[in-house]
Chain A
Amino acid sequence: MEKVLFGYLCIAMLGSALLAVFSRNAVKAVLWVLVMFLHQAVLFLTLQAEFLAVVQIIVYAGAVLVLFLFVVYMINLREEVRLPNFVSSYPWAFIAAFGLLVLSVAGLSGYRTARAAGVLTPEALLRYGHARILGEHLFREHFLAFEVAGVLLLVAVLGAVVLVRRIREGAI
Protein backbone atom coordinates (compact mmCIF):
# COMPACT_ATOMS: atom_id res chain seq x y z
CA MET A 1 0.00 0.00 0.00
CA GLU A 2 2.67 2.48 0.97
CA LYS A 3 4.72 1.47 -2.04
CA VAL A 4 1.77 2.32 -4.27
CA LEU A 5 1.53 5.70 -2.55
CA PHE A 6 5.27 6.26 -2.93
CA GLY A 7 5.10 5.35 -6.62
CA TYR A 8 2.25 7.76 -7.19
CA LEU A 9 4.13 10.53 -5.35
CA CYS A 10 7.27 9.85 -7.40
CA ILE A 11 5.40 10.01 -10.69
CA ALA A 12 3.46 13.11 -9.68
CA MET A 13 6.52 15.01 -8.39
CA LEU A 14 8.76 14.14 -11.32
CA GLY A 15 5.98 14.81 -13.82
CA SER A 16 5.03 18.17 -12.38
CA ALA A 17 8.68 19.23 -12.09
CA LEU A 18 9.24 18.30 -15.75
CA LEU A 19 6.08 20.16 -16.80
CA ALA A 20 7.23 23.20 -14.82
CA VAL A 21 10.64 23.21 -16.48
CA PHE A 22 9.25 22.64 -19.97
CA SER A 23 6.14 24.83 -19.89
CA ARG A 24 6.09 28.00 -21.98
CA ASN A 25 3.88 30.05 -19.73
CA ALA A 26 5.52 31.26 -16.50
CA VAL A 27 2.22 31.23 -14.61
CA LYS A 28 1.66 27.60 -15.55
CA ALA A 29 5.21 26.77 -14.46
CA VAL A 30 4.60 28.34 -11.04
CA LEU A 31 1.35 26.39 -10.67
CA TRP A 32 3.04 23.11 -11.63
CA VAL A 33 5.70 23.78 -9.00
CA LEU A 34 2.84 24.33 -6.54
CA VAL A 35 1.52 20.85 -7.42
CA MET A 36 5.00 19.46 -6.83
CA PHE A 37 5.26 21.13 -3.41
CA LEU A 38 1.90 19.75 -2.27
CA HIS A 39 2.96 16.24 -3.26
CA GLN A 40 6.22 16.78 -1.45
CA ALA A 41 4.28 17.64 1.72
CA VAL A 42 2.57 14.25 1.44
CA LEU A 43 6.00 12.69 0.93
CA PHE A 44 7.11 14.27 4.21
CA LEU A 45 4.05 12.72 5.83
CA THR A 46 5.17 9.28 4.65
CA LEU A 47 8.48 10.02 6.41
CA GLN A 48 6.67 10.71 9.72
CA ALA A 49 7.62 14.38 9.52
CA GLU A 50 4.28 16.11 9.90
CA PHE A 51 5.76 19.40 11.11
CA LEU A 52 7.89 19.60 7.97
CA ALA A 53 4.82 18.86 5.84
CA VAL A 54 2.92 21.75 7.41
CA VAL A 55 5.90 24.10 7.08
CA GLN A 56 6.29 23.04 3.46
CA ILE A 57 2.68 23.98 2.69
CA ILE A 58 2.69 27.23 4.69
CA VAL A 59 6.08 28.59 3.65
CA TYR A 60 6.53 27.25 0.13
CA ALA A 61 3.00 27.02 -1.19
CA GLY A 62 1.74 29.94 0.85
CA ALA A 63 4.57 32.47 0.76
CA VAL A 64 7.29 31.72 -1.78
CA LEU A 65 5.05 30.77 -4.69
CA VAL A 66 2.73 33.72 -4.07
CA LEU A 67 5.81 35.92 -4.29
CA PHE A 68 6.68 34.27 -7.62
CA LEU A 69 3.14 34.81 -8.88
CA PHE A 70 3.22 38.49 -7.97
CA VAL A 71 6.48 38.98 -9.86
CA VAL A 72 5.09 37.09 -12.87
CA TYR A 73 2.06 39.38 -12.86
CA MET A 74 4.23 42.50 -12.60
CA ILE A 75 6.26 41.54 -15.63
CA ASN A 76 4.71 41.61 -19.05
CA LEU A 77 5.37 38.27 -20.73
CA ARG A 78 2.91 38.48 -23.57
CA GLU A 79 5.49 37.79 -26.24
CA GLU A 80 6.85 34.80 -24.34
CA VAL A 81 4.77 32.28 -26.30
CA ARG A 82 6.55 33.09 -29.55
CA LEU A 83 10.13 32.97 -28.30
CA PRO A 84 12.25 29.84 -27.89
CA ASN A 85 12.12 28.30 -24.43
CA PHE A 86 15.72 27.28 -24.03
CA VAL A 87 19.09 28.85 -24.61
CA SER A 88 20.80 27.89 -27.83
CA SER A 89 23.21 25.53 -26.10
CA TYR A 90 20.54 23.54 -24.25
CA PRO A 91 21.70 20.11 -25.54
CA TRP A 92 24.83 20.67 -23.48
CA ALA A 93 22.67 21.47 -20.47
CA PHE A 94 20.76 18.23 -21.03
CA ILE A 95 24.01 16.27 -21.32
CA ALA A 96 25.32 17.87 -18.11
CA ALA A 97 22.16 17.12 -16.12
CA PHE A 98 21.89 13.59 -17.48
CA GLY A 99 25.57 12.91 -16.80
CA LEU A 100 25.16 14.14 -13.24
CA LEU A 101 22.16 11.85 -12.84
CA VAL A 102 23.98 8.79 -14.21
CA LEU A 103 27.13 9.40 -12.17
CA SER A 104 25.32 10.01 -8.90
CA VAL A 105 23.03 7.00 -9.38
CA ALA A 106 26.16 4.92 -9.97
CA GLY A 107 27.66 6.37 -6.82
CA LEU A 108 24.51 5.69 -4.84
CA SER A 109 24.05 2.11 -6.00
CA GLY A 110 26.35 0.73 -3.32
CA TYR A 111 24.88 2.81 -0.52
CA ARG A 112 23.82 1.13 2.69
CA THR A 113 22.50 2.97 5.72
CA ALA A 114 24.39 2.91 8.95
CA ARG A 115 22.85 1.62 12.15
CA ALA A 116 20.02 3.86 13.24
CA ALA A 117 20.84 5.55 16.52
CA GLY A 118 18.99 8.64 17.59
CA VAL A 119 16.07 10.17 19.37
CA LEU A 120 13.54 10.07 16.55
CA THR A 121 12.39 6.55 17.27
CA PRO A 122 8.84 5.46 16.38
CA GLU A 123 7.97 5.14 20.07
CA ALA A 124 9.05 8.72 20.81
CA LEU A 125 7.15 9.93 17.73
CA LEU A 126 4.00 8.19 18.95
CA ARG A 127 4.43 9.45 22.47
CA TYR A 128 5.49 13.08 22.00
CA GLY A 129 4.82 13.90 18.38
CA HIS A 130 7.18 15.17 15.73
CA ALA A 131 6.75 18.89 16.38
CA ARG A 132 7.62 18.59 20.06
CA ILE A 133 10.79 16.57 19.49
CA LEU A 134 11.89 18.91 16.72
CA GLY A 135 11.15 22.00 18.81
CA GLU A 136 13.04 20.74 21.83
CA HIS A 137 16.14 19.97 19.84
CA LEU A 138 15.86 23.15 17.80
CA PHE A 139 15.68 25.40 20.84
CA ARG A 140 18.24 23.51 22.91
CA GLU A 141 21.00 22.61 20.52
CA HIS A 142 20.51 24.83 17.49
CA PHE A 143 19.33 28.03 19.09
CA LEU A 144 22.13 30.21 17.69
CA ALA A 145 21.42 28.95 14.18
CA PHE A 146 17.73 29.72 14.72
CA GLU A 147 18.52 33.30 15.70
CA VAL A 148 20.88 33.71 12.77
CA ALA A 149 18.15 32.45 10.44
CA GLY A 150 15.83 35.10 11.85
CA VAL A 151 18.40 37.82 11.21
CA LEU A 152 18.94 36.42 7.71
CA LEU A 153 15.23 36.68 6.92
CA LEU A 154 15.11 40.23 8.30
CA VAL A 155 18.09 41.26 6.18
CA ALA A 156 16.54 39.60 3.12
CA VAL A 157 13.26 41.48 3.56
CA LEU A 158 15.08 44.79 4.09
CA GLY A 159 17.31 44.06 1.09
CA ALA A 160 14.32 43.33 -1.14
CA VAL A 161 12.65 46.58 -0.07
CA VAL A 162 15.83 48.62 -0.58
CA LEU A 163 16.53 47.04 -3.98
CA VAL A 164 13.16 47.75 -5.56
CA ARG A 165 12.38 51.10 -3.97
CA ARG A 166 11.72 54.01 -6.24
CA ILE A 167 14.49 56.59 -6.19
CA ARG A 168 13.09 60.12 -6.31
CA GLU A 169 15.03 63.22 -7.16
CA GLY A 170 16.08 65.17 -4.09
CA ALA A 171 15.16 62.48 -1.57
CA ILE A 172 18.17 61.63 0.56
Chain B
Amino acid sequence: MIPVNWYLYLALALFAIGLFGFVGRRNVIIMLLSIEIMLNAANVALAALGTKMQDVTGHILVFFVIAVAAAEAAIGLSLVVLLYKRFREVHMDEVRMLKG
Protein backbone atom coordinates (compact mmCIF):
# COMPACT_ATOMS: atom_id res chain seq x y z
CA MET B 1 0.00 0.00 0.00
CA ILE B 2 1.49 3.30 -1.05
CA PRO B 3 1.26 5.98 1.64
CA VAL B 4 -0.87 8.99 0.78
CA ASN B 5 2.03 11.36 1.43
CA TRP B 6 3.81 10.14 -1.70
CA TYR B 7 0.85 11.11 -3.84
CA LEU B 8 0.74 14.52 -2.17
CA TYR B 9 4.47 15.09 -2.77
CA LEU B 10 3.97 14.14 -6.42
CA ALA B 11 1.08 16.60 -6.66
CA LEU B 12 3.20 19.35 -5.12
CA ALA B 13 6.07 18.73 -7.55
CA LEU B 14 3.69 18.81 -10.51
CA PHE B 15 2.11 22.01 -9.22
CA ALA B 16 5.53 23.64 -8.87
CA ILE B 17 6.43 22.68 -12.45
CA GLY B 18 3.15 24.13 -13.69
CA LEU B 19 3.63 27.32 -11.69
CA PHE B 20 7.11 27.80 -13.11
CA GLY B 21 5.78 27.26 -16.62
CA PHE B 22 2.96 29.74 -16.10
CA VAL B 23 5.16 32.48 -14.67
CA GLY B 24 8.25 31.88 -16.75
CA ARG B 25 7.22 31.03 -20.29
CA ARG B 26 6.58 33.66 -22.95
CA ASN B 27 4.31 31.64 -25.20
CA VAL B 28 0.69 32.02 -24.11
CA ILE B 29 -0.30 28.54 -25.35
CA ILE B 30 2.29 26.92 -23.10
CA MET B 31 1.10 29.14 -20.25
CA LEU B 32 -2.38 27.65 -20.70
CA LEU B 33 -0.86 24.16 -20.80
CA SER B 34 0.86 24.95 -17.50
CA ILE B 35 -2.53 25.84 -16.03
CA GLU B 36 -3.73 22.41 -17.11
CA ILE B 37 -0.70 20.82 -15.42
CA MET B 38 -1.51 22.67 -12.19
CA LEU B 39 -5.17 21.58 -12.33
CA ASN B 40 -4.05 17.99 -12.82
CA ALA B 41 -1.76 18.25 -9.81
CA ALA B 42 -4.79 19.30 -7.78
CA ASN B 43 -6.70 16.36 -9.25
CA VAL B 44 -4.00 13.93 -8.13
CA ALA B 45 -4.13 15.27 -4.58
CA LEU B 46 -7.95 15.18 -4.47
CA ALA B 47 -8.19 11.65 -5.84
CA ALA B 48 -5.48 10.35 -3.50
CA LEU B 49 -7.10 11.89 -0.44
CA GLY B 50 -10.53 10.68 -1.54
CA THR B 51 -9.31 7.12 -1.90
CA LYS B 52 -7.36 7.06 1.34
CA MET B 53 -10.14 8.65 3.39
CA GLN B 54 -12.64 6.36 1.61
CA ASP B 55 -14.79 9.38 0.90
CA VAL B 56 -16.47 9.76 -2.46
CA THR B 57 -16.55 13.58 -2.31
CA GLY B 58 -12.92 13.89 -3.40
CA HIS B 59 -13.59 11.92 -6.56
CA ILE B 60 -16.71 13.96 -7.33
CA LEU B 61 -14.63 17.11 -6.92
CA VAL B 62 -12.12 15.73 -9.45
CA PHE B 63 -15.03 15.25 -11.85
CA PHE B 64 -16.08 18.89 -11.48
CA VAL B 65 -12.50 20.13 -11.78
CA ILE B 66 -12.23 18.31 -15.11
CA ALA B 67 -15.46 19.96 -16.33
CA VAL B 68 -14.30 23.42 -15.28
CA ALA B 69 -10.89 22.83 -16.89
CA ALA B 70 -12.57 22.01 -20.20
CA ALA B 71 -14.56 25.26 -20.04
CA GLU B 72 -11.44 27.21 -19.10
CA ALA B 73 -9.47 25.73 -21.99
CA ALA B 74 -12.20 26.68 -24.48
CA ILE B 75 -12.40 30.29 -23.30
CA GLY B 76 -8.63 30.67 -22.90
CA LEU B 77 -7.86 29.33 -26.35
CA SER B 78 -10.46 31.56 -27.99
CA LEU B 79 -8.82 34.50 -26.22
CA VAL B 80 -5.48 33.33 -27.65
CA VAL B 81 -6.99 33.30 -31.13
CA LEU B 82 -8.33 36.83 -30.59
CA LEU B 83 -4.92 37.98 -29.35
CA TYR B 84 -3.24 36.52 -32.41
CA LYS B 85 -5.78 38.16 -34.74
CA ARG B 86 -5.27 41.53 -33.09
CA PHE B 87 -1.50 41.64 -32.53
CA ARG B 88 -0.09 38.78 -34.68
CA GLU B 89 1.74 37.77 -31.54
CA VAL B 90 1.44 35.06 -28.91
CA HIS B 91 4.28 36.13 -26.64
CA MET B 92 2.91 37.75 -23.53
CA ASP B 93 5.83 40.12 -22.93
CA GLU B 94 5.37 41.61 -26.41
CA VAL B 95 1.72 42.52 -25.79
CA ARG B 96 2.01 45.76 -23.87
CA MET B 97 -0.82 47.88 -25.23
CA LEU B 98 -2.28 48.50 -21.78
CA LYS B 99 1.15 49.34 -20.39
CA GLY B 100 1.34 52.45 -22.59
Which A residues contact B (CB, under 8 angstroms)? Answer: 2-3, 6, 10, 13-14, 17-18, 20-21, 26, 29-30, 33, 36-37, 40, 43-44, 46-49, 51-52, 55-56, 59-60, 63-64, 67-68, 71-72, 74-75, 77, 80, 83-88, 90, 92-94, 96-98, 100-101, 104-105, 108, 111, 113-114, 116-121, 130, 133-134, 137-138, 142, 145, 149, 152-153, 155-157, 159-160, 163-164
Contact = CB atoms under 8 A, between A and B. Distances in A.
Contact of B63 (A18, A55, A96): A55
A104 B12 contact: yes
B30 interface: yes
B90 A77 contact: yes
Contacts of B23: 87, 90, 92-93, 96-97
A114 B49 CA distance: 10
A93 B25 CA distance: 9
Chain A at the B interface: mostly helix, strand, loop or mixed?
Answer: helix
Given A100-B19, A133-B56, A163 B14 contact: no
Contacts of A160: 74-75, 77-78
Chain B at the A interface: mostly helix, strand, loop or mixed?
Answer: helix
A100 B44 contact: no
B36 to A, nearest CB: 7
A89 to B, nearest CB: 8
Contact of A134 (B15, B25, B59): B59
A157 B4 CA distance: 37
B24 A93 contact: yes
A99 B62 CA distance: 27
Given A94-B20, A111-B8, A21 B30 contact: yes
